[in-house]
Amino acid sequence: MTTKAHRVNDLSWMIGGPQGSGVDSSANTFARACAHAGLNVFGKREYYSNIKGEHSYFTVRASSGTVRSHIDDVHVLATFDAETAFRHIREVVDDGAIIYDPSLAKTKVSDVPTIEHRLQGELKTYLIARGVGETLDDMLTTAKQRGVTLIPLPYNGLLEQIADEFKVDALSKIARMVNMLAVGASLGTIGLGFDFTVQALNDVFRGRTSTVNMNASGARKAYEIGKSLAPDFGYRLEEIPRREPRLFLSGSQAGALGKLYGGLRVQTYYPITPASDESEYLESNEVLDLDGHGAPEIEDSTFVKEKGASVLVVQTEDEIAAITMAIGAALTGARAATATSGPGFCLMMEGIGYASINEVPVVITLYQRAGPSTGMPTRHEQGDLRFALHAGHGDSPRILLASGDFEEMIRDGLLSFNYAERYQMPVIHMVDKALANNSATIAPPDLSDLRIDRGRMVLDGNGYSPEHPYHRFELGDDPVSPRAVIGQHGTLFWNTGDEHDETGHITEDPVLRDLMMEKREAKLQLAAKEIPDSVKFHYFGVKDAETVIVSWGSTKGPILDALDGLLAEKESVGFLQLRLLNPFPSDAVMTYLAKAKRRIDIEMNFSAQLGGLIRERTGVDMTHLVVKYNGRPMSNTELHDAVKAIIHGKVPHRTVLTHGA
């Protein structure tokens, strides 16, 4: 065995298996073990629209530095079925490793019905070209020839030992433990101290001591096998002391936390992937505490002391009911929201128009997924920008705010409510499948600057009387009228989907119609003026760069990671991340993008929707487009390579990224 230079604390690990076999919890355990060791982790989850049996996989990057995305390379592939090995073995780097079940060695590609015909053909061609047969053994042989370390893990034998040790009468009862065996073998291979695995198991199986013990015992056995079979493996993880706590969370949780912090009190939803996780998390935490921030006048108040706070989560019959029920709740003064994905958002359009004409503050969190129609329900896309911007008939002002990472998801949860109430219109908070299902360690965000702004609200004892009546849609110098809520004394109002007069009664008067249309539009102008640049956009990288990337949403992670690499290579690159997409931050585009020699629009959709919008709103044209629409999020690797190729003039106007299984 030759001694190699080890690559320490920069690892890309993947585990896969049939849906329902516990891939998620094993990946969670692996990621948590790394996190407990002080490493930063980023996890990406891929799965079919299926309950049991189809292939799902999870990649985890662990690093001493910042990680915000996945890379194309896999350093360690952990498998316990044949399909995962067949599908992903070609992604393993030459000096990487694969953990597999030797009892499956004779399985043929064509024995795995869940591998699509196209991929079966591709795999067979790959194997034939290398002069081998089509079994897993053959596939492993090709990998070994490249230098990949093979780590056979005798899953059945290990399960038998565990069954014996813990007096389990049937192996089927502990069959799911193969996951944790794969995790144990992985961590043994890369040499991370076993204690972290135990800590992670304690997190994952919180309070279930016997489960923890059994899994720890199994993982330990597999750990030793990994360690002994690859004693000098080139990729290592080592503990990094960390003095500060970090959060390890998913985007769905970040979305829910932001909304709660922002005062969400009613959330409606209809089940849909990938949005439901947020609502389920909220419902699991429906009884809330209040915090007086140490200020005695708040701490001592009854409403804080008695902790009478809650969020009501309502599962509706469809998304039409979800949006309209949220509107009803908002009319009473509750901060109300719904969360959905594209197909559900389609059903919400009439509600959005209604909220717009009635100036109802309601928030819609839109978890985009691959469309059109049912599309690929569990796969990623940013294909709804144009749709969210225009959803509904007529001109109906709304605000669009797009988050690019977990911290932004938290902050934007609160800001969405603020803008909805301040400008009295629907706010569509744009997020997506990648954000929802990614998990990562982040520094606990400093939210101390955030304040709740309810806008122009009419308070009790407001002085309105029959002689001086309240008008919900008062026309004045301020396009934002004082807002009362249902149930308040002295402020009766009416709402209607028809055009209305100042009290809210139906009108078809042409003069009033003009005034109301102009009032509603003026609120958008006001929002454009008031919302600070720090919310509208972020700019990263070289000032006045030759090449400026523009994008929105979850591409932020891989773009920032790619940018680090490009800057290290002394490229003159910058990145303009647009966050407020309506009203559109035209000034930022003109300032940061217009003068660049190369203007690259990077988006996870077919038609480069933001690129088109920029041109529409500013006249600025993109010199290059980088798009992806295969349902798999962009990687650091492919973005780095795509931008590099553009800078060096090697590619045409449009680049289509295709990586991902």
Inter-residue contact 466 to 435 (CB < 8 Å): no
189 part of the interface to other proteins, by CB under 8 A: no
Measured distance CA(601)–CA(640) in Å, rounded: 14
Per residue, the 3-state secondary structure of 436-468, as one string, reads HHCEEEECCCCCCCCCCCCCCECCCCCCCCCCC
Measured distance CA(604)–CA(69) in Å, rounded: 14
**Residues numbered 133-172 forming contacts with other proteins, rule: CB under 8 A:** none
279 part of the interface to other proteins, by CB under 8 A: no
Nearer to other proteins, 498 or 514 (CB): 498
Q: Nearest approach, Cβ of 484 to other proteins (angstroms)?
A: 9
**Residues numbered 306-335 forming contacts with other proteins, rule: CB under 8 A:** 306, 308-312, 314, 316-318, 320-322, 324-335
**Residues numbered 347-366 forming contacts with other proteins, rule: CB under 8 A:** 350-351, 354
**Residues numbered 478-497 forming contacts with other proteins, rule: CB under 8 A:** 485-497
Q: Nearest approach, Cβ of 389 to other proteins (angstroms)?
A: 21
Place of tokens 């949220």: 326
Q: Nearest approach, Cβ of 245 to other proteins (angstroms)?
A: 5
Inter-residue contact 58 to 46 (CB < 8 Å): yes
Among 112, 249, 409, 548, indicate the residue that binds other proteins (CB under 8 A): 249
- In terms of C-beta density within 10 A (0-12 exposed, 13-18 middle, 19 or more buried), how is residue 94 classed? exposed
Q: Nearest approach, Cβ of 38 to other proteins (angstroms)?
A: 4
460 part of the interface to other proteins, by CB under 8 A: no
**Residues numbered 227-246 forming contacts with other proteins, rule: CB under 8 A:** 239-246
Where does this chain touch other proteins (CB under 8 A) — which range of 28-36, 94-102, 155-163, 376-384? 28-36
Among 150, 288, 512, 661, indicate the residue that binds other proteins (CB under 8 A): 288
Query: In b/e form, how buried is each residue of 123-133, taking b as 16+ CB within 10 angstroms?
Result: beebbeeeebe
The residue type of 448 is S
In angstroms, what CA-CA distances link 38 with 145, 220, 338?
35, 21, 36
Nearer to other proteins, 386 or 454 (CB): 454
257 part of the interface to other proteins, by CB under 8 A: yes
Closest CA to 39 of 182, 150, 199, 253: 199
In angstroms, what CA-CA distances link 69 with 126, 278, 435, 453?
29, 21, 11, 34
Measured distance CA(459)–CA(303) in Å, rounded: 18
Inter-residue contact 605 to 368 (CB < 8 Å): no
Among 53, 102, 152, 292, indicate the residue that binds other proteins (CB under 8 A): 292
Nearer to other proteins, 291 or 569 (CB): 291
x/- binding map, residues 422-441, to other proteins, per CB under 8 A?
-------------------x
How many beta carbons lie within 10 A of that of residue 456, not counting itself? 13
Where does this chain touch other proteins (CB under 8 A) — which range of 32-40, 215-223, 612-620, 625-633? 32-40
Using CB under 8 A, count the residues that bind other proteins: 94
Among 505, 595, 597, 654, indicate the residue that binds other proteins (CB under 8 A): 505
Q: Nearest approach, Cβ of 489 to other proteins (angstroms)?
A: 5
In angstroms, what CA-CA distances link 131 with 115, 123, 158, 379?
22, 13, 34, 35
290 part of the interface to other proteins, by CB under 8 A: yes
